A and B are shown apart, each in its own frame.
Chain A
Amino acid sequence: MRFSTARAEVTHRPRRGGVLLASVLVLCVLALSAQAPARGQRGSVLQSWMLTAAAPLARAVTTVSRAISGTSSSIADNFTARSDIVRLRRDLQKREEELFRLRAEVQQMRSEIGLRAAAPFLPVVVGSGPVLLLERRAGLHSALIGIGSSSGVGPGSPLAVPEGLVGRVVTAGRTLSRAQLLLDASAAAGARIVRTGELGIVRGDGRGALRLNHIPTTSRVRPGDLVESAGIDGIYPRGIAIGRVASVSRGGNLFLDVLLVPTAPFSRLTDVLVLAPFPAREPGEGTSASR
Chain B
Amino acid sequence: MGDTDAFGKLELELRRGVVVLATLSQLRAPRYGYELRQALADQGMPIEEGTLYPLLRRLESQGLLKSDWKTDSGSPRRYYSLNTDGRKLLKKLIEAWQGMNDAMGRLLKEDGQ
Do A and B come together as binding partners?
no
